[in-house]
Amino acid sequence: MEIQDSKSTLQVIPRNNEKIKKIWKTAGILLAITVAEFIMAFTMERGLLLYALFIILTIWKAKYIMMEFMHLGDEVKPLFYSIIVPLIFLVWLLIALAKEGTDIFMMRW
């Protein structure tokens, strides 16, 4: 068996600074949102408004991770929807179990 050449035969494309800048920008946004959540946890009163804001900010972060880091936005539309649409089931699970939890609370206390 011949010894394989470890030198690259692939053409190395030079860095595209525009793209790399965009990655760092997304990272900055994610970090900024996390810091904002952190500050809100200590300055705002605990309650439905704060929890709603936390969940909105979390979904916003999730959007950045999926679109920018996982490049889901660059995939073809059918693939995009086949990942996003099934998540609708989770909305139902969330409503059903939130109601279940509240009802158990009512029975216990």
Binding interface with another protein (CB under 8 A)? 4, 6-16, 19-20, 23-24, 27, 30-31, 34, 37-38, 41-42, 46, 51, 54-55, 57-58, 61-62, 65-66, 68-70, 75-79, 82-83, 86-87, 89-90, 93-94, 97-98, 100-102, 104-105, 108-109
DSSP secondary structure of the chain: -PPPP-S--SPPPPP-HHHHHHHHHHHHHHHHHHHHHHHHHHHSPSSHHHHHHHHHHHHHHHHHIIIIIS-GGGS-HHHHHHHHGGGHHHHHHHHHHHHHHHHHHHHH-
Q: Kindly tell me which of 1 and 8 has the beta carbon lying closer to another protein.
A: 8
In the complex, least distance from residue 19 CB atom to another protein, rounded to whole angstroms = 6
Minimum distance of another protein from residue 98's CB (angstroms): 6
